[in-house]
Structure 1
Amino acid sequence: MQTTANLEFKKPEGTDVVNIEDLNYNADIADTEIVKKASSSQDGRMAKEDKVKFDGISTGANKVEQSSTNGNIKIDGVEKKVYTPPTGTNPYGTTKADVGLGNVTNDAQVKRTEMGAASGVATLDSSGVNAQAPKAHTHTKSQITDFPSSLPANGGNSTTVNSHTANGTPATTEKTDIIKMINEVFQSGTNVKADAISAVNSKGGSLGSDATWDDIIAAINAIARGQGNAVESQVLSGVKFSNSDGQLRTGTMPNKGAITITPSGSDQTIPAGYHNGSGKVSAVTVPVANVLSGTTIAGQTGTMPNRGAVTLTPGTTDQTISNGYHNGSGIVKGDANLKTENIREDVSMFGKIGTLKPYELTAGDSNILFWDSQQYNTTSYTRVKVGKTITTNIKGKIRISFDLRCGGSASLAYEVDKNGSLVTSNSYNSTSWTTETIDVTCSQGDVFEFLIKSYNEDYNAYIKNIKVSTDLVSPLTIA
């Protein structure tokens, strides 16, 4: 048998018998190769996605790749400069504002080695006094340019005003100017008052900026305190609230969010706490065909038939066991006669191998089982069936014989088949009758057929006296 050059399809010769397996083989190869896609190492079909990419490439297009050289790209593998970066200390004119340093001055910073050193920068002690200057020293009047020409009109002196000292450590930011200290304290009170007004208004008040402290106190007393009798376990965890006692409280109720409960064979406790409404009990898929009819699971009723106790009687063919529920009391009937000695030798029946020896045929001439004396003839060049079809009902050996002759100078050919397969064949070229005899092994149910043909369609091929004979094997053992 020849094959094709590329895919090696099988090509039957003119004299070959067409084999379905060869056709299937060719179809399987075609089915595989037709859908095979091209790769870098083999030919094949182009994927539709690749076709879209291919159609998007212009005629004469170049391959452009990234280059490791700054300012370059690669075109068809060749480096090409497309941009020349500027040079210099600050070629792009970057400013400090461009990098987020717009508020930084350009003043020189003091080096730590210059702090408190000779000809360096003075440092201050914890009281804000020059640590390098002598703490006790004197100045002449002429050295003090802003020395007051008279004492304050209120009769105070340079260190007191109405007996209130300006020294020490007052809580104000200002440490030396009494007037500034007073103004600072006043301003602090003003700020506190403004904050109080804002706090009252945030609770539903309507105070103006000119409200007095009396107005503020009255508005505070008018603010409604909490109502109700809620307790911490009834309010979501972390949420602030108050009830009729006006105390600020924090809820402790757990936030369970959305929980999912999967049904099981026993009850499941739903945890205490807040559920946001998105929780669920998982759906149960019940295969109703596997649930006994009349039984309900998760609202779905089973459809499995209840077969109860089924009794099966063995036969010559398999019997289907009906689907459904069987209660365990069903049976397959037994038979006390199912014994090896009651079963033909070598025959398997329900797991038992028979030992009963049957009568057995042996090839011979003493018993003629079949004799067809009719004469058959044909001029056909192809074999044709003649005579009867013979089926053996007992195993053993049989003897088959028949007479042949040619009708002229042409030869004939005969063939004996068993179960559709050749047992023996031969040619004969005499015009005289001759007897052919063959001994054949047979089993119960074997089918025998006889075929003849003529090698010359001008002359007949003849066959007659088709006979089957045998000798019986004795069923006795003589000791």
Structure 2
Amino acid sequence: MIQLTKTQKQYLYTEKTGNVLTGVTRAFEGVAQSWGAGTRVARLFSAYDHNTFKANIEDLDNRLGNIPAPQDASLTQKGIVQLSNATGSSSDTEVATPKAVKNAYDIGLAAQAIINNRDGYGTTTNSGNVYTVALTPAPVAYVDGLRITVKINAANTGPVSINVNGLGAKSVLKSNGSDMTANALQANSVYSFVYNGTAFILQGEGGEYGTAVASDVLSGKTIGTDEGIVSGTMVNQGSIGTKNLTFQNDSYTIPAGYHNGSGKVVSTYEAGRTVQESSNVSLGNGAKVYANLNGKQCAQISANLGGYTGGGWSIRYNGTENYWMV
């Protein structure tokens, strides 16, 4: 809308192209007037503009007044929700932020690394006690709980480490956390290892071993050791039966090995007795005695051919029996 002066009447137009007006309505508010060619006109704020502007504001205010107050969102209606960085929340009124999504993604990657190797299997190569293995699918990183299953190509001779798919060498420890001992890993045997964040731990080892060696174990029996199953070498002596001691200070050497406890050693030599001087004392062929003659202690007397002299007494063998004589 234009007008000639502040006091002259207004004209409404719908389009202006250069200096050409089209869609002109004369005397839009008031009496029509004419102007000559070249008359200067201006676009001024009119009562029409004011009334239109005022009507628009009132309409907008009315519309805003009819908008309901915002409600919290739920599973059944739209509404306002709160942002959250949590990755383990069970809330159904909060929405995850990009940070939460990224954290969940990273957790998923770590879990995928474990899943990728749950059934992973490979045969090792080695340089001494440093082993390498390439698993398919390949793990993306060492993470807690990563499980690998490998076939060992050569027995170890000391502490072991393993490099999985080029991720770096990590120690391999026994279930008690100690280093591997020689031959703990046998050639062509299959083992499972689980990563604990620092090292791989051998699974299914079966606990601790004692200090027993082959000579401590009964022949025919076996024992588990760090080096595997060992056969015992201890001789099973069973029962040694009854062994007799026939004279004072006599002895019996117990053979090495296992005894079942039923054997025994008994003393059968004759008790001391008193005899008269010059009396013949019958001992029997090969007998041994310890005698006290007239209160005089005699040495042990052995029935040996050729006789034995001790304490002033002698013993002789006449071909049939032993006897004392002065």
TM-score normalised by the shorter chain: which range applies? under 0.3
Larger Rg: 1
Q: TM-score, normalised by structure 1?
A: 0.16
